[in-house]
Amino acid sequence: MTGNQGPEGLLVENRAGERTILLANEPPQGPLPETARRNYRVIVGEPGDTAFVRRFHGRERTTASFGKEAPMRWSTGESRLILPVPPGRRCLVTVELFVPGPAVDEQAGLYLGEKRLAAIGSPGLQDLRAEVPAQDASPVTLSLRCREWSPADSVPPEGRDLRTLDARRLGVVVYSVTVAAEGASGEPFDANRRR
């Protein structure tokens, strides 16, 4: 891959090892400062969020029908949050989200590996809070799981118009993710703008 330029750099998950040749690409943002890992917020859907999200749809802005007007991204049936944490300290992770009715099922929630840390039990605008046990290394990867659905499937054929032809496989709307390590206080660091 050569010559890829973008405002947030090129982020490559290299699974080919030494066989991969990357040349003249815009580098991604650097890591969060160590002190910021104790207390920070990512606004999902704003520039600067790509280091923290995987398997999400592109950036959008919701309307008031989703509980608020704000930047956001749609998740898929299993999206990932890549969260820098201070090793050896428990962290409270808060995910601000809007859950459409079709996304709710008995397995929906926030997971660390196969352990569910917090359940999504009902539709609507909500804060999903989970305590992440102290980790030996950083970052930690959390999975946001829900029932995948499509807006196009939820409208009868005779009622379809241009607004309901969205055939994407969606999950929930995610607005922000806040990480607060045990003992952290004060205003969270702005992880999007790195300040």
Looking at the fold, whether 160 and 150 belong to one and the same domain comes out as: yes
The tens digit of pLDDT for each residue in 102-149 reads: 999 999 999 999 999 999 999 999 999 999 999 999 999 999 999 999
Q: What is the H or E stretch that residue 92 is in?
A: strand 91-99
| Domain contains 8 | yes
Number of structural domains (the chain) is: 2
Q: Are residues 38 and 23 in the same domain?
A: no
Q: What is the helix, strand, coil percentage profile of the chain, to 5?
A: 10, 40, 50
Residues 26 and 52 occupy one common structural domain: no
Q: Is residue 195 part of a domain?
A: no
Q: Judge if 22 and 44 occupy the same domain.
A: no
Same domain, 117 and 26: no
pLDDT bin (cut points 50, 70, 90) of residue 34 is confident
User: Taking CA 5 as the corner, what is the angle to CA 20 and CA 54, rounded to the nearest 5 degrees?
Assistant: 65
Question: Which range (21-30, 38-47, 182-191) has the least confidence?
Answer: 21-30
Q: What is the DSSP letter of 2?
A: B
* Residue ranges making up the domain that contains 12: 1-30
**CATH, residue 146:** 2.60.120
> What letter would DSSP give residue 122?
S
Residues 74 and 38 occupy one common structural domain: yes
